[in-house]
Amino acid sequence: MVFSGVIISALIMFLISGSAQCRRVDCKSECCSFVEGFPVRLKELRVSYREIQKFYESNDDLDALLDDTVENNINSPYGCHVMHEILRFYLETVLPNAVKNHLKTPINSIGNIFKELKRDILKCRNYFSCQKPFEISSIKNSYEKLEEQGVNKAMGELDLLFKYIEQYLASKRVRH
């Protein structure tokens, strides 16, 4: 299941990055440039995650934290609020706890990209045509119920979160 998800994510990344290299988009705003340039940042996220992925996935045999509801909400008219709330959750709760248990460098790299992504999503709310806010309390409640296993669960699902981010930003790319 995880293997097929990785293959699908890799294929989507290949197609998106390939199309980004084959065509030039003349962006007239920072937000357009952010969206069009994000495949490079996504690649950096995945490279950092690969350094710690086996550890977290081997310690994760629990039900999904980032389920279909999250994906559906990301693909909704208020997806930018969903992205903002999830990124905030990872930055304020998950990543600080993960640093206690694992290599600091890849986790800090992921955190730095998440900070930039969160900032740019907020800055580009109008570009993304955000509508109403997203309620992240069910994810936070599930995370807290898992206690110490919550970090393993949330970190083990980073690849899934990367896929959701990729899908969301790909849907906002300029179509030619």
For residue range 125-153, list pLDDT tens digits in order.
888 777 666 677 878 888 898 888 888 88
**Which tokens hold the place of 137?**
């309390």
The fold of 2-171 is Growth Hormone; Chain: A; (1.20.1250)
Domain assignments of the chain as residue spans, ordered by start: 2-171
Alpha-helical regions (H) of the chain:
2-22, 30-50, 53-58, 68-74, 79-89, 95-101, 104-123, 137-145, 149-156, 158-171
Asked whether the whole model's pTM tops 0.95, one would answer no
Q: What is the CA radius of gyration of the chain?
A: 16
For residue range 14-43, list pLDDT tens digits in order.
444 444 444 566 788 898 898 898 899 999
